[in-house]
A = this chain, B = another copy of it.
Amino acid sequence: MSTTKKRSECPISSSLDIWGDKWSLLIVRDLMFSKQCTYGDFLKSEEKIATNILASRLQMLEDNGVITKQEHPESKAKVLYKLTQKGIDLLPMMIEINLWADKYFTLPPDRKEMLNELRKDKEGFIKQKREELAASIS
């Protein structure tokens, strides 16, 4: 499962080898918006990922250094998932996806507003968000 065989040396291809499916980037999205999530939190997302698919994607992302598991401060039964630096570095890409989607889809008002905010100072927005996320890496 963790054997990631690259199809080529192309950066796009290598990237898709890791997160090129319908679910992985939704996990990354949840972590970028919420900073940290439990297994149950991911299951609650509106796209309704199947629990076995979630487990396999979390494993894949962890194997590839995009996310990490940490123990929950309040409970041993819970597991906290967080973005690594490698995961945080997906932020600019995630933002460009948002901007593209904003041009061609109808987005929820709150998302649209956030993107308008972003457009005023993209670099500043990214820097701040990056710091926020990095702060939660222990």
Contacts and interface: CB of A to CB of B under 8 A. Distances in A.
A4 B55 CA distance: 26
Interface stretch (A19-27, A70-78, A130-138): A19-27
Contact of A10 (B16, B21, B46, B92): B46
Interface in A1-33: 7-17, 20-22, 25-26, 29
Nearest to A13: B47
Interface of A is mostly: helix
A105 B15 CA distance: 9
A14 B96 contact: no
Contacts of A111: 10-11
19 contacts: A7-B46, A7-B48, A9-B105, A10-B47, A10-B111, A11-B111, A12-B94, A12-B97, A14-B105, A15-B97, A15-B101, A15-B105, A20-B21, A21-B21, A21-B22, A86-B103, A92-B96, A93-B97, A96-B96
B86 A90 contact: no
| Interface residues on chain A, size class | 35 or more
A36 interface: no
A71 to B, nearest CB: 26
A68 interface: no
Contacts of A104: 65, 86, 89
